[in-house]
Structure 1
Amino acid sequence: MWQELIATGFYLGRFRYAPGSLGTLLGVPLVYVFAVKWWLVLFVALLLYLLGVWASGYVIEMRKEKDPEDVVIDEVLGYLLSYTFVEPTFKTLLVGFLTFRLLDILKPYPIKLFENLPNGHGVMADDAVAGMINAFVLFSLFH
């Protein structure tokens, strides 16, 4: 039960339209709280990754689906990692949201490779990589 609650972003991922975008929006408060130091972002991201592997792994096993659409904790992680090198402002939050969603949807190389990892790692790792690539995109745009 707790795993499903966490994996779906307190059931926000169950909304019919754009669950990934809604999950990404869940990352905004985390960005505001933790994106003050790069090492704090990485520490929280590591904890979130481990929590996400556990929670999404449970949902995967329960439903026998590789990457259930309503699991959005991976979007929260990816969006948080996007702010490893830039300060959250209205402008960076908006641009970061758009670029992260684009990376998450299109999954260009090497992001797509990480989907092949087993269980919850496959769910979490591709968004973690997308978030780190987005961190460099945002750094390039705003520094």
Structure 2
Amino acid sequence: MSTAIATVLGLGHLRPASGTWASAAAVVLAVAAYQAGGALLVPVAFVLATMLGFWAVPRYLAGRSDTDPSEVVIDEVAGQLLALCFTVIPLWRHGVPDLLLAAWPGWVVPFLLFRLFDIWKPWLVGRADRRHDAAGVMLDDLWAGLFAGLGSTALAGLYHGLVQPWLG
């Protein structure tokens, strides 16, 4: 069970860039949930993925020398879902009916920023990654998700507050 969760049903074995594949899968699921009227499923999925990740990753890593194998991608799913919460919930609260096409920056920007922070590993992301333990595997992606969510919110604020009014 811990292997299925840690690798997100084997998704972590896709190559190249298993973390990007897992992040993309999280985006697809979040957009599908939103489109089906289940925007609140995104934060629920984030909490569930985080809890399952903190349970499964230590079990999966037990007895292994590699403390952050590339096939472990539940952390990317949790981090990506966190980043998406920052845009999905406000869009839902404002009654935006179509996330896929009409509000596409609401999923594209968090995806791109999450991948950037997950790969670049600035500040707290890198600090968590350098723990070299199961908690660090989860925490670096949660920090990346938080920063991606905050960055997405800041960019949306700049666009809607400055650029859009100027464009008329």
Bucket of the pairwise TM-score, normalised by the shorter protein = 0.7 to 0.9
Give the equivalent residue in structure 2 for 1:79.
Answer: 80
Partner SS, residue 26 of structure 1: helix
* Contact 1:79–1:100 (8 Å) recurs in 2: yes
1:132 and 2:146 aligned: yes
State whether structure 2 residue 9 is matched by structure 1 residue 10.
Answer: yes
CA distance, structure 1, for counterparts of residue 112 and residue 9 of structure 2: 23
Residue 94 of structure 1, CA deviation: 1.7
How far apart, CA to CA, are the structure 1 residues paired with 2:148 and 2:83? 5
1:61-93 per-position Cα deviation (integer Å, ceiling 9, x unaligned): 143321111101111011100022213532222
Q: Which runs of 5+ in 1 are unaligned?
A: none
How many correspondences in the alignment? 140
Q: TM-score, normalised by structure 1?
A: 0.85
In the aligned structure 1, how far is the partner of 2:63 from the partner of 2:10? 16
Alignment of 1:115 with 2:120, yes or no, is no
State the identity %.
33
The one-letter code sitting in structure 2 at the alignment partner of 1:79 is Q
1:3-56 per-position Cα deviation (integer Å, ceiling 9, x unaligned): 11111111111122110100101211442337835x961x54233212102211
- What SS does structure 1 have at the residue aligned with 2:87? coil
**Structure 2 SS opposite 1:85:** helix
Tell me which residue corresponds to 1:48. 49
What aligned pairs does 1:99-110 form with structure 2 within 5 A after superposition? 99-110=113-124
Normalising by structure 2, we get a TM-score of 0.73
Q: Contact 1:30/1:80 (CA < 8 Å) preserved in 2?
A: no
Specify the code of the residue in structure 2 equivalent to 1:36: A
Cα distance, 1:40–1:19 mapped onto 2, change above 3 Å: closer
RMSD: 2.2
My pick for the range that moved more, 79-88 or 104-113, is 79-88
1:64 matched to 2:102? The reply is no
**Post-superposition offset of 1:126:** 0.8
Mapped to 2, the partners of 1:67 and 1:52 lie a distance apart of 13
Distance 2:76 2:61 in 1: 16
Asked whether 1:21 is paired with 2:20, we answer yes
